[in-house]
Structure 1
Amino acid sequence: MKTVLKILAVLILVVLITGGVYLWTPSGAEYNEDEIKAVASEYDARIIRDNFGVAHVFGQTDADASFGFGYAHAEDDWTTIQDVVIAARGMSAQYKGKSVAPQDYLYDLFKVHEAVSEKYDTEVRDDVKAVAKGYADALNLYAVEHPEAVLPAVLPITEQDVLAGFTWATPFFYRLDGYLEELFTAEDKPNVSPWQQTAELDLPDAVRGSNAFAVAPSRSADGHTRLILNSHQPMTGPYAWYEAHMVSKEGMNIAGATFPGVPIIAQGVNPNLGWAQTVNRPDLIDIYALEVDDFDNPAQYKLDDEWQDFEKTESEFRVNLFGPFSLPVKRDVLWSEHGPVLSTPTGHYAIRFSGLQGVGALQQWFDMGKATNMTEWRDAVAQNNVLSFNIVYGDKDGNIGEVYNAKMPNRIEGPDWEDILPGDQSELIWTDFRPLSDMPQIWNPECGWVFSANATPFNVTDPACNNNREDFSETFGIEDRITNRSRRALELLTNDESISREELLRYRADTRYDPQSDLMRLVVDLVSRSYDEPILEDAKEVLRNWDGDTDRSSRGAALAVITGTRALGYEYKENEMDPVEAFRQSAEDLRLAFGRLDPEWGEVNRLQRGETDLPLDGAPDVLRAIYANRDGVADSGSMNAFAGDTHIMVADWDEAGELDLVSIHQYGAATLDADNPHYADQAPLFSEGEYKAMPMTLESVLPLAERDYRPGQTE
């Protein structure tokens, strides 16, 4: 018996050891800390932190500037950058567990790693490689200097990781995942959209917004050219703006903002020109229903009446269990002539989309930032490697423009490309793209101004100067949407024949809902009803007396906005809750928290960060866009802003072409460090709608210097 027990114990031990080896998470690639420091010492980058902690980076070369920028970025936001790197390798589940496993499968399904490996040498210019490498080398330096902050197997970070981040993330800006949602089960839906990343609030609603304005000398009161960059993003997390200024002796001098893991400024202003981007929704994806030979184990699909073999590979990733243990997972990856294939309970669907395996977005943004005039900038945009976005442009020579940017598939006319397509017709498999010149755009209109607020591109200036929808193919799938922000901007600017700086800034921060907006239509409906409950009759009177304004002193905005976002979603378009029930719940919450149905909006609508707690004007889909937690009154007594107006820049070129540039960030330069004085030092200015100066030369930065240092250099 003892012998049997010994044998059993040995077998159990062998099983445990074997299981432990199988589940033990690999340690990753080897690296040498001394080599990382030696590589870093070869860069010549100077970081000057101004009085707001903003990093002004000066380098001999563009790569030096990117190195210095990467180091500063890591100092302020290492944890988020690290998460981006992990996602750019398709390894999120190895660290975060089962909930993010679907996105690692999509990473492998889209063959992101293969695309970067195959195209890096042939489709990425050497100067762009150097910029990506400089950023990666800076991240490695910061990481070896702060080993306590680094997760296992993250180092070394490579320039290919930086490029893979673009290849992986950019399609989700036009909501690739939104198009695919119906193909997933609830458990398998990937949470990868920039518009679902709202950090600790974990709110599921999209915040697809942004404003941009450009006014030419012919329309401005003083002959100046003005450009406003007013992007709406989550306030924290992987898609929150990070502000910086990068300068090199190779012609780079750009101030603006970018996202964690991005080695250059994604939108900004240089002394000669600037641009702002707002989200658009062109139809850049097609879904094909395939006929397969075996539903449960398909090997072939039908195309033009012939059976074709699937290209079959494997997705391999690991799912964290606990501690150093993770479960290896393997799943089949199928490709057809159309592209990657999703096998779902309802069928097998091939997907084809703009940006699949693309590696050119970094190069285009890099070239846009270094352009010195409109011709160079338009040549950069014509690369058509940034997949989407409306882009508004302005420059020192008085040129303005608006482009409905889209890497548009060159499709045949006739089919309903927005529906699921038959997968057995090869003529529906497009192989190239339309040139950007085919997209709606306006350059130097006689009306003298353009704007964008995520609405249709056929309504972006005075009616006399707009494009006509009839001139553009239905295959583009251009949206018809008209936002409240677009209604208000059109009313304000169309009626102003001579727009001063003060007026333009006031229009940018407008807080009113148009009578035709979805929220005001809901308010009219609620006021028109009769109610048996006294609280609803009282609430009706609050809405009846509300003028549609959301400045902080308003006494009807809280009831209207909370009701509207509950009933219609944060974008006022989804029908999420019965309107009367949303009205009742909102009224009850306000009375319980404030003892009245009409507290001042500034008491409710707050900017809260650490010990900072400030009132805010604005609300969803007003030009002063603020998205705050609609359930916050019930949960904590106030609504904390999580998205909307974030980083804002105002570029003003005078008649001689001299630039005056101001900016604001909703919090401050120190993204994660609550003990840093710049964690929320811009919040008071942001709350009051004010701006800070953004110096663009070494001579103008030095008087503001708070810290001056050279990463990688020994003292």
Structure 2
Amino acid sequence: MTSWLGRIGFALLILVLAAFIALATWEPFWAKRDGVALSDETYTAEIIRDEFGVPHIYGERDRDVAYGVAIAHAEDDFSTLQDVIAMARGRYGAIAGQDGAAIDYVYHLLDARGTAESEYPKLPADTQALFEAYATGLNDYAAQHPGELKLGNLFPVEGKDVAAGFALRQPFFFGLNGVIEPLVTGGDLRREFGPDIPGFPREGSSDTALQPAEDAAEDAEKESLAYSPFGRDGAHNGSNAFAVTPERSGGPTTLISNSHQPLRGGVAWYEFSVESEEGWHFTGANFPGSPFPFLGHNRTLGWTNTVNMPDMVDVYELELDESGTRYRFADEWRDLETRTVTLPVRFGPVVLPIRREIHRSVHGPVIKNDKGAFAFRYGGIGNLGQLDAYYRLNKATNLEEWEAVLSRMDIPSTNFIYADAEGNIAYVYNAAIPDRPEGANWRGVLDGSDPALLTDGPVEYEELPRYVNPASGWLYNANNTPFTAAGEGSDLAPEDFAPELGVELKQTNRSRMAWKLLSEAGQLDRAALERVKYDTGYMRAGYIADLWDGLEALDLSERPDLAPARDLLIEWDFTADNIGPADSLALLIIREFMSCRYQNKGCPTVLEELEKAVTHLDTHFGRLDVPMSELLRLRQGDVDLPLDGGSDTLRASTLWHVHDDGRLALRHGDSFIQWVEWMPGERVTSRSIQPFGAATTRPRSPHYTDQMQLFVEKRLKPVHFWREDVLANAQTRKTVTNRR
């Protein structure tokens, strides 16, 4: 008997071991592809790195440069590039577990690969050539560095894979995860576009007095973030942009790019310069997975972006038949497209295959929940024209050419702030908003059976808010309504634009401060603009006013222990400058109220946030008036530096990691800053800075932390745009090629 039991136990052990091996190894074999369309071209690029490790990439053709961009970026951050490629292939769950699988679900739900398959071949040949060269660069680096690979058979990739990544990520810049999450969970859609301009309230706005959060608000936020390719830091927590004419600056046309992004990860800025003999000469920054910069400048013009939040998504309730496989559209029943996909989900050393059904109707993706079946359609759905549009913007030479590209409406969203060597400045509220007929409640849930509610394409470019050379001589955006952008007498009026556009009317504290400071300034020279850009002040208006009114009204008769903190906050000077004794308390208490207003989610109570702030400071510092410079830090490797600024100040320290010592390590806020100047009759010059350095995931690199001290001191480094400057400051120089 003992012998038989031993044999059975041994057999079970073998089965368990076999199952473990299968679960640990199936995913790379399952993901292996045949027939990947690899380029047979030869590419050669020169990569010169300056004193800060920023790569300057040269090539005979644009596609040679794109090959070099992939190599240079992989040298600095191949880890993040692999994450982005895994997302673009629906395999991120095999790296990041359940959070990654949620993104893979969205990849299939939006049919990102299908969009790439259908639309990529329609792109101009030179744009496709750019993406094929970029994919080749990634493949070559992967082949030469097998020890860095996270997943088997992730490479080789082709241009369509890179394109699929664009199709996946772009809709989340205008908040698509805020629609997907409640549809998946069966929660309520928050689709308000709240007011903050006196006299222009909107029914159902969330911008009212502070209200208690729903019990599930925190869980809902985590769930929502899980469906975003940008992770916890999101893509729309703030940015600033400024443009000033020579008349107002007293000298140069000035463009200030100050995008607030995560400091690490798939939407962290990567700085580089490109130049080819075909006329592509640009310096700026991109996100991992792109062969070209998304913002920056060339010889004659430049632009920067801030996230805008128009109503870009329409939601439809479908009427299904008894089988649940057909839906009514007009007078007919149509088959609901359904397919089953496999999501790889890593749990420790094994990867489980999870099967999910994906549905689609004529409207777009469909999600079923306990309340029914809901389809959604969004601006830019099925369009990959942005891959060509950004490339053409890089090579535009004047305002007319630049606007001609934007007017194609191929870039689904984001504000554009522009300046050029001719002294022009412009602001375009760029958004491929669905062209909606009048009469329907487009912010509600629409009747999916009514063909009249099925939009087809965006509105005309001329319908969007737009400024060119306003009388004030300046323009700005800080993720606010486009109706405050140029000062009194130059701002556009909301009533001049159709309500079906769904243009946001919200303000941010950054916007209020920028509008005030720019309006009050005389000459906007470099020193004046530096004071604006690095301002740490708050206005007692909007949610800040509501919060402080709430503090003053608090009844602390049952919580006298919180009175000292409340009194300290009431006496605060409303500047997050590392000077006032209440700066740390204010930093801790403001962030959640900024977030809930900006993202249209339930707000916490003033009492609970005050209690959390007090508990944190007491626990970790033993005092309430701890200097903010001791609380808020910029940390990377062994470098640990003090910071200023707060959530929603122009000097932005928006989100942070709470470390074991109670310090807050910045993870989102001021990131890539670029300051561009065109002096009349002179060549363009620019300066820039990153929070860490060029090699953010390479601890052994000298450029892992070498910009941090400059960043905290509010100093910028030179951008070596012109080749003679690059050569004069070159630290390394090499040629890369795929010639074997």
Q: Please, what TM-score do these two structures have when normalized by structure 2?
A: 0.88
Letter in 1 for 2:143: V
Letter in 2 for 1:43: Y
Mapped partners of 1:620, 1:195: distance in 2 = 19
Q: Which runs of 5+ in 1 are unaligned?
A: 199-204
Superposed CA deviations along residues 528-571 of structure 1, whole A, max 9, x for unmatched, are: 54534554332233223321011122321111121222456476
Superposed CA deviations along residues 366-422 of structure 1, whole A, max 9, x for unmatched, are: 111111111111111112111111110000100000010001111110111011111
Map residues 260-299 of structure 1 onto 2, 5 A cutoff: 260-294=288-322, 297-299=323-325
Superposed CA deviations along residues 588-630 of structure 1, whole A, max 9, x for unmatched, are: 4323433432122212121111111111121110100112438
Cα gap change, 1:376 to 1:600, in 2 (>3 Å): same
Map residues 556-571 of structure 1 onto 2, 5 A cutoff: 556-566=582-592, 569=595
Name which of 429, 454, 460 aligns with 2:485: 460
Cα gap change, 1:9 to 1:418, in 2 (>3 Å): same
Superposed CA deviations along residues 496-526 of structure 1, whole A, max 9, x for unmatched, are: 2321111012101111001214234413431
Cα gap change, 1:327 to 1:398, in 2 (>3 Å): same
Does structure 1 residue 431 correspond to structure 2 residue 433?
Answer: no
Superposed CA deviations along residues 445-500 of structure 1, whole A, max 9, x for unmatched, are: 12111100010011111121111211211111111111001100111111223211
SS of corresponding position for 1:636? coil
- Aligned counterpart, 2:27: 25
Mapped partners of 1:682, 1:514: distance in 2 = 31
Name which of 509, 515, 518 aligns with 2:543: 518
Superposed CA deviations along residues 668-690 of structure 1, whole A, max 9, x for unmatched, are: 00110112111111010000100
Letter in 2 for 1:643: H
Would you say the 8 A contact 1:214–1:450 is kept in 2?
A: yes
- Aligned counterpart, 1:161: 161
- Aligned counterpart, 1:589: 616
Cα gap change, 1:539 to 1:5, in 2 (>3 Å): closer
Q: Structure 1 residue 73: deviation in Å?
A: 0.2
Q: Which runs of 5+ in 2 are unaligned?
A: 186-219
Mapped partners of 1:172, 1:442: distance in 2 = 26
Cα gap change, 1:254 to 1:78, in 2 (>3 Å): same
Deviates more, 1:363-372 or 1:552-561: 552-561
Cα gap change, 1:10 to 1:547, in 2 (>3 Å): closer
Mapped partners of 2:289, 2:97: distance in 1 = 22
- Aligned counterpart, 1:201: none
Q: Structure 1 residue 304: deviation in Å?
A: 2.1
Q: Structure 1 residue 699: deviation in Å?
A: 0.6
SS of corresponding position for 1:377? helix
Mapped partners of 2:707, 2:679: distance in 1 = 27
SS of corresponding position for 1:364? helix
Would you say the 8 A contact 2:566–2:610 is kept in 1?
A: no
Q: Structure 1 residue 111: deviation in Å?
A: 1.9
Does structure 1 residue 387 correspond to structure 2 residue 412?
Answer: yes
Cα gap change, 1:482 to 1:98, in 2 (>3 Å): closer
Would you say the 8 A contact 1:197–1:238 is kept in 2?
A: no
Would you say the 8 A contact 2:686–2:718 is kept in 1?
A: yes
Does structure 1 residue 378 correspond to structure 2 residue 403?
Answer: yes
Superposed CA deviations along residues 299-343 of structure 1, whole A, max 9, x for unmatched, are: 2111224322223333344334565x6444443333222122111
Q: Structure 1 residue 631: deviation in Å?
A: 4.9
Q: Structure 1 residue 660: deviation in Å?
A: 1.7
Cα gap change, 1:667 to 1:556, in 2 (>3 Å): same
- Aligned counterpart, 1:644: 669
- Aligned counterpart, 1:627: 654
Cα gap change, 1:298 to 1:614, in 2 (>3 Å): same
Mapped partners of 1:490, 1:191: distance in 2 = 35
Letter in 1 for 2:237: R
Map residues 26-105 of structure 1 onto 2, 5 A cutoff: 26-27=28-29, 28-29=31-32, 42-105=42-105
SS of corresponding position for 1:256? strand
Q: Structure 1 residue 13: deviation in Å?
A: 8.0
Name which of 275, 279, 282 aligns with 1:251: 279
Mapped partners of 1:503, 1:195: distance in 2 = 34
Cα gap change, 1:7 to 1:232, in 2 (>3 Å): closer
Q: Structure 1 residue 20: deviation in Å?
A: 7.0
Cα gap change, 1:528 to 1:242, in 2 (>3 Å): same
Does structure 1 residue 488 correspond to structure 2 residue 490?
Answer: no
Q: Structure 1 residue 435: deviation in Å?
A: 2.0
- Aligned counterpart, 1:202: none
Name which of 339, 346, 361 aligns with 2:386: 361
Q: Structure 1 residue 703: deviation in Å?
A: 1.6
Would you say the 8 A contact 2:399–2:420 is kept in 1?
A: yes
Would you say the 8 A contact 1:566–1:630 is kept in 2?
A: no
Letter in 1 for 2:126: D
Mapped partners of 2:738, 2:328: distance in 1 = 61
Deviates more, 1:610-619 or 1:86-95: 86-95
Does structure 1 residue 127 correspond to structure 2 residue 129?
Answer: no
Would you say the 8 A contact 2:245–2:253 is kept in 1?
A: yes
Would you say the 8 A contact 2:92–2:100 is kept in 1?
A: yes
Deviates more, 1:530-539 or 1:245-254: 530-539
Deviates more, 1:98-107 or 1:158-167: 98-107
Would you say the 8 A contact 1:565–1:630 is kept in 2?
A: no
Mapped partners of 1:555, 1:189: distance in 2 = 36
Would you say the 8 A contact 2:513–2:538 is kept in 1?
A: yes
Mapped partners of 1:227, 1:509: distance in 2 = 15
Letter in 2 for 1:281: M
- Aligned counterpart, 2:474: 449
SS of corresponding position for 1:551? coil
After superposition, the CA RMSD in angstroms is 3.0
- Aligned counterpart, 1:147: 146
Would you say the 8 A contact 1:31–1:155 is kept in 2?
A: no
- Aligned counterpart, 1:304: 330
Letter in 2 for 1:86: A
Give the total of aligned pairs: 699
- Aligned counterpart, 2:345: 319
Name which of 631, 642, 648 aligns with 1:604: 631
Superposed CA deviations along residues 637-692 of structure 1, whole A, max 9, x for unmatched, are: 32111111000000011121421200000110011011211111101000010000
Cα gap change, 1:499 to 1:5, in 2 (>3 Å): closer
SS of corresponding position for 1:288? strand
Q: Structure 1 residue 582: deviation in Å?
A: 1.9
Cα gap change, 1:118 to 1:435, in 2 (>3 Å): same
Mapped partners of 1:188, 1:639: distance in 2 = 23
Mapped partners of 1:341, 1:188: distance in 2 = 18
Mapped partners of 1:617, 1:709: distance in 2 = 39
Would you say the 8 A contact 1:567–1:579 is kept in 2?
A: no
Mapped partners of 2:367, 2:49: distance in 1 = 48
Letter in 2 for 1:24: W
Mapped partners of 2:104, 2:464: distance in 1 = 33
Mapped partners of 1:701, 1:188: distance in 2 = 46
Mapped partners of 1:293, 1:540: distance in 2 = 58
- Aligned counterpart, 1:541: 567
Would you say the 8 A contact 1:207–1:643 is kept in 2?
A: no
Mapped partners of 2:611, 2:20: distance in 1 = 56
Name which of 372, 377, 380 aligns with 1:352: 377
Mapped partners of 2:644, 2:414: distance in 1 = 27
Name which of 431, 435, 440 aligns with 1:415: 440
Cα gap change, 1:5 to 1:627, in 2 (>3 Å): closer
Would you say the 8 A contact 2:225–2:231 is kept in 1?
A: no
Cα gap change, 1:713 to 1:705, in 2 (>3 Å): farther
Does structure 1 residue 674 correspond to structure 2 residue 702?
Answer: no
Name which of 677, 681, 701 aligns with 1:656: 681
Mapped partners of 1:380, 1:654: distance in 2 = 26
